[in-house]
Structure 1
Amino acid sequence: MGSFKKLNSKIYEKTTSVITPDSIYWKQLGTPVLVKEFGTVDYINFSPVEPYFFAVTCSVRVQVYNPITKLVAKNLSRFRENAYGAVFRSDGRLLCAGSEETHVKLFDVSTKNLLRLFKGHSAPVHRTYFVESRPQIVSFSDDKSFKIWDIPTEKNILSYSDHSDYIRAGATNSIIPDLVLSGSYDHFVNMYDTRTNQKVLSVNHGSPVECVLFLPSANVFLSAGGTEIKVWDVTAGGRLLKSISQHHKTITSLKLACDNKRLLSGSLDRHVKVYDISNFKVLHSLNYQNAILSMDISQNNDILAVGLIDGVVAVSRREETVKVKKDDKKTISWKHPSKSFQPTVDSVTPCLNHEKETKHDKCLRKFEFSKALDSVLLPYVANKTPQVTVSLIHELIKRRALQKAFTGREQKSVAQILRFFIRNITEPRFAKVLIDAANIFVDTFEDSPLIMDPEIAKLLLSLTQLLKEETAIANDLSQLQGAMCMILAGAAQQKTAAVGANLRPVHHNLIPSIDAQKDLIININ
């Protein structure tokens, strides 16, 4: 007689995600520390120099935080109305910000003094940036214009008004300071060359533009708006290179990381996604508790700060990997008067790992099917590892013993089985097995007086309603599949015969459980 084969529950386990070096790297960002602000977080910007303080623009103030202690180091409150888009200069000593007051303000970070006040806009200024290697500031306003200011004289050098709606996005180029990008709610992104004082490029993003960003080469730039990130080639006259749509709500911020080899995007769908800049494939995704309005990462990629719509700043810091130096193993010796003696090992006894037999396997081996089912319906098994319960039900179906395991049960046990069905019957991994089990359950208890119990009747109605909803969804998917087949068939006629011969046929059995669900509803009713 052969040895008893234990129950195999691995076939119903969830497929695990592929572990890559990038996923390991980004998972090292620890659990976010939540800092509550006074309103929605409009903008976050890290200082380019150590110790990488970051400025949070929120309500009528700009607060500079220490990334280690998560405490406010500086508080810039020289605003009577809302402040917007505070950014550091490349040396981290100056900070500029726009405001609802239509002014642009320049601060000394160390002393918190207001150094310059730039007046000239007629509407709120939402984004401001320093021009690299020049004493200039660029400001983007809701008055449909953006201006370039000279810091020493506080004068407006250049002004552009080619947009027809609010300008809420802009970018300067660190390699070519003469190039400036502006993104507007009129769906257009314009590029200007300050040497010729002209617009040199204009592209239509297709949605209100929330963020624009130059890539390091300066030949390519990104625009984000709606649920798409679009990649544009400057040298080809604004040709669209790629359109990325990995978010399902509006994208609000873009940032470069890892020496400009990775791109981060934050969205109202509560996700921050990490892309490889070479092919724009998603490498990792970070989840947050609420919609994301702003985001930035430190120069060394060790601190990620995310601003949420409810006024919370989530600060994640990379966990330091502490290398423990192992001490050299000390050899123990027993010294005799004449010589040192060290013991020798004659043989090594292998350690035998005996696998512990589970309770349901023990019951199956003794053909105690009802007890085996009871053991896997216990809450700590059915809730935490439902694949074990489904595996046992599948085994009992194969042995034609499930009906025997169902019979003779009390009201509490029957309710437990129905709750398990309701909780897991819509799970794709378990649907086929649990529909067959539910049919056997109905056949077993259709003449039982337990059906008249109010609690059991209520659970049966819940199961019926759940299956009706699943059947309706499956029917809608079938109709959608039929429509897609017609579209594909029409597209195939326009292709050459060689390409058409290689088209794979669309199978019509992608939803195999509709008939089974309908039969189960009829049986329950």
Structure 2
Amino acid sequence: MAQPYKPLHRIINPKIQTKLKEDQLAVFQEPGNMTSVAFSTSEADYVASTSSIRLSVFDVSVCEPVTVCSRFKEAIYCVTYRKDGKLLAVGGQDGRVRIFDAFKSGTIGNKAPLRTYKSHSCPVHAVLFTASGKNLIAMGDDGSIKVYDIMEVKATPIKVINGAHSDHIRCGDASKTTDYLFASGSYDHTAKVWNLVAENDDPLVSVDHGCPLESILFVPGDSLLITAGGQFVKFWAVTVGGKLLQTLHNHHKTVTSLCLASDGTKLLTGGLDKKINVYRLNTGDFSLAHTFSLPAPVYALSVSINDNYMVVGMGNLLGVFRREAAGALETTLSEAKSLGYGLEYQRRKKEEAVTDMKQQQRGEALQNVKITAPQPLKVHGGRINDLLRQFKHWKAVDVLFRNPHFVASNPDVIVSAFREIYDRQALCAALAGRDVDTLRPLLLFLCKYLFRPRYFDVLFVVTQTFLVRNVYADEQLDIKVTRALRKLLDAVGREISLQKNLHQVCGQLEVLFTASRRHHITSHSRDEVFGDVTVSPLPFVSTFCDVLSI
């Protein structure tokens, strides 16, 4: 006996979401722009935030404030928890560093600090606890670093590093395993790794990011250092003297914050372009895993230790995102395929031959009709089209000029890609941050195809963006790139000379045309009814000889 048809259960992929539910999102309004957020390392539900003159501690599990301290007279800029989560430290505009008891229950707005250090006479934007939690590090806008022993009552630093940086220090991070290791980042474009027990004040490692630094982070194990500034995120190998390993270019505006998640295997970056990017650190290639789009620029970012909560500071708003547990009937695509379900997700290759169709004309029986018309070919855009579809403009240009096939045989593809990137207003970001392996082929390509009529409109904008906007004005270019720039300058000079010669030829031709019009016989001078047509000779030869003799 035949069994009745039973439809398969619908497979829901939780990764595909168009809108967050109300129980996944909470928003708090603060008195000013968010300056920093930090999750407690012991209580995964507690998060501290700073905004204007207010320090707030929220319980994100119930979305309620635990403590709100607003006794500060000036703005505070940074907050950090100690490793055990019992203490938190803040620094602000007045140059003082304060330590609070994270679990002390007091009157809201009247919470007294345990320690207060008059650290600097300028604003403090970075405070750190060492791995042991016994020392506190304060970094000021005057470029100096001071270290305090929180066990002592007196406010005398145990170590002072004067002139650590030549500009404001805006970020720092301390090692989670080594008690004497910490890093600092400054607006002087440098990031430095320091040793607390060293006798001198020289850094262990110093790297040049190329842009003012906004955030800095140690990877677990202290072998890698991550710096964020401008539109770039860079990875440095600390163990080999600060070697640059990778540069990420997925942001279109300044990257403001860095954060680790999933036990240090994921990196989250937030920027002014209203994006949060998630990268894989355990694969070795630092590939992009996911991108969040937000309604406002990201100023601060933090993730809880159990990855259940993510807190984002956007303007004067503090957004709390909660992870939703998967239901009993929901499963991922990989699990469905492992069980043999979800065949609708698998793409089957279409056969070229089309099945026969039946056709019936009036008064006749059904007849089999075979369709012989060929199917239209499906055009595949290739890797460049896929990269542009994912808005990876920098990577698309990198692939174009690292592959000699495009430069030598497919200039149309390169020009079309440049036109699309220019229409998206991402041309400057796509050209910046390149090495000699892609800069030299790019300049040689401009030398060869810039003055082709069909390419000139697009390549002129590329050349103008490269030269007029001074994308590499602050960088020291390689000698090969300098030679390519000189070739481009010579090509422009030759084109200018050619244009001048063409203008001269146009002027000479205009003289010939003017002389020819003076001796041209019009219809009014002819006797069209009674007489014959008479044609007087044109003094063309003499005029042309006169022109050549000039």
Class of the TM-score when normalised by the shorter of the 2 chains: 0.5 to 0.7
Q: Is the 8 A contact 1:29 1:319 kept in 2?
A: no
> Which residue of 2 is the match for residue 41 of structure 1?
34
Q: Is the 8 A contact 2:82 2:133 kept in 1?
A: no
The answer on 1:88 being equivalent to 2:85 is no
> Which residue of 2 is the match for residue 155 of structure 1?
156
SS in 2 for 1:114: coil
| Pairing partner for 2:228 from 224, 228, 244 | 224
Shift of 1:51: 4.4
Shift of 1:113: 3.3
**In structure 2, C-alpha distance between the alignment counterparts of 1:475 and 1:195, rounded to whole Å:** 50
Matches within 5 A, 1:58-457: 58-111=51-104, 112-153=111-152, 154-160=155-161, 161-197=163-199, 198-277=202-281, 278=283, 279-309=285-315, 311-323=316-328
Cα offsets for 1:360-406 (capped at 9, x unmatched):
xxxxxxxxxxxxxxxxxxxxxxxxxxxxxxxxxxxxxx9xxxxxxxx
**In structure 1, C-alpha distance between the alignment counterparts of 2:223 and 2:22, rounded to whole Å:** 32
Q: Is the 8 A contact 1:254 1:265 kept in 2?
A: yes
Q: Is the 8 A contact 1:124 1:141 kept in 2?
A: yes
Q: Is the 8 A contact 1:28 1:319 kept in 2?
A: no
Shift of 1:267: 0.4
Task: Say if 1:21 and 1:133 are closer, same or farther in 2 by CA, change over 3 A.
Answer: farther
Task: Say if 1:173 and 1:29 are closer, same or farther in 2 by CA, change over 3 A.
Answer: farther
SS in 2 for 1:235: helix
Cα offsets for 1:344-369 (capped at 9, x unmatched):
xxxxxxxxxxxxxxxxxxxxxxxxxx
Task: Say if 1:139 and 1:492 are closer, same or farther in 2 by CA, change over 3 A.
Answer: same
> Which residue of 2 is the match for residue 433 of structure 1?
none
**In structure 1, C-alpha distance between the alignment counterparts of 2:136 and 2:45, rounded to whole Å:** 22
Task: Say if 1:285 and 1:159 are closer, same or farther in 2 by CA, change over 3 A.
Answer: same
> Which residue of 1 is the match for residue 541 of structure 2?
none
Kindly indicate whether structure 1 or structure 2 has the higher relative contact order, using CA contacts under 8 Å at least 6 residues apart. 1
SS in 1 for 2:444: helix
Shift of 1:162: 2.2
Task: Say if 1:63 and 1:485 are closer, same or farther in 2 by CA, change over 3 A.
Answer: closer
SS in 1 for 2:125: strand
State the one-letter code of the partner of 1:290: A
Comparing 275-284 and 105-114, the one that deviates more: 105-114
Shift of 1:108: 0.9
State the one-letter code of the partner of 2:156: K
**In structure 2, C-alpha distance between the alignment counterparts of 1:209 and 1:131, rounded to whole Å:** 21
**In structure 2, C-alpha distance between the alignment counterparts of 1:116 and 1:273, rounded to whole Å:** 37
Task: Say if 1:296 and 1:485 are closer, same or farther in 2 by CA, change over 3 A.
Answer: closer
Comparing 106-115 and 62-71, the one that deviates more: 106-115
Shift of 1:30: 6.7
Q: Is the 8 A contact 1:29 1:316 kept in 2?
A: no
> Which residue of 1 is the match for residue 444 of structure 2?
490
Q: Is the 8 A contact 1:41 1:308 kept in 2?
A: yes
**In structure 1, C-alpha distance between the alignment counterparts of 2:252 and 2:53, rounded to whole Å:** 31
Task: Say if 1:320 and 1:152 are closer, same or farther in 2 by CA, change over 3 A.
Answer: same
Gaps of 5+ in 1: 1-18, 326-397, 399-427, 430-469, 494-507, 512-525
Give me the identity figure in percent: 33
State the one-letter code of the partner of 1:33: A
Q: Is the 8 A contact 2:44 2:304 kept in 1?
A: no
Q: Is the 8 A contact 2:24 2:324 kept in 1?
A: no
Cα offsets for 1:134-193 (capped at 9, x unmatched):
411111111211211110223201122221100001110011121111100000111111
**In structure 2, C-alpha distance between the alignment counterparts of 1:137 and 1:44, rounded to whole Å:** 18
Q: Is the 8 A contact 1:28 1:318 kept in 2?
A: no
Q: Is the 8 A contact 1:267 1:293 kept in 2?
A: yes
Q: Is the 8 A contact 2:83 2:133 kept in 1?
A: no
State the one-letter code of the partner of 2:239: T
Q: Is the 8 A contact 1:31 1:316 kept in 2?
A: yes
Task: Say if 1:266 and 1:20 are closer, same or farther in 2 by CA, change over 3 A.
Answer: farther
**In structure 2, C-alpha distance between the alignment counterparts of 1:228 and 1:22, rounded to whole Å:** 27
Shift of 1:133: 1.1
Of the two, which has the highest radius of gyration? 2
Q: Is the 8 A contact 1:79 1:99 kept in 2?
A: no
State the one-letter code of the partner of 2:304: S
**In structure 1, C-alpha distance between the alignment counterparts of 2:183 and 2:446, rounded to whole Å:** 42
Shift of 1:21: 9.3
Q: Is the 8 A contact 1:45 1:56 kept in 2?
A: yes
State the one-letter code of the partner of 1:261: T
After TM superposition, the score normalised by the length of structure 2 is 0.55
Shift of 1:109: 1.8
SS in 1 for 2:66: strand
SS in 2 for 1:176: coil
Task: Say if 1:474 and 1:314 are closer, same or farther in 2 by CA, change over 3 A.
Answer: closer
**Ranges of 4+ aligned residues in structure 1 off by more than 4 Å:** 19-24, 26-31, 473-477, 483-489
**In structure 1, C-alpha distance between the alignment counterparts of 2:301 and 2:420, rounded to whole Å:** 39
**How many residue pairs are counted as aligned between the two chains?**
331
Shift of 1:52: 2.3
> Which residue of 2 is the match for residue 392 of structure 1?
none
Gaps of 5+ in 2: 1-11, 105-110, 331-375, 377-387, 390-415, 432-437, 448-453, 458-550
After TM superposition, the score normalised by the length of structure 1 is 0.58
SS in 2 for 1:175: coil
Could you say what the CA RMSD is over the residues aligned between the two structures, in angstroms?
3.7
Task: Say if 1:31 and 1:21 are closer, same or farther in 2 by CA, change over 3 A.
Answer: closer
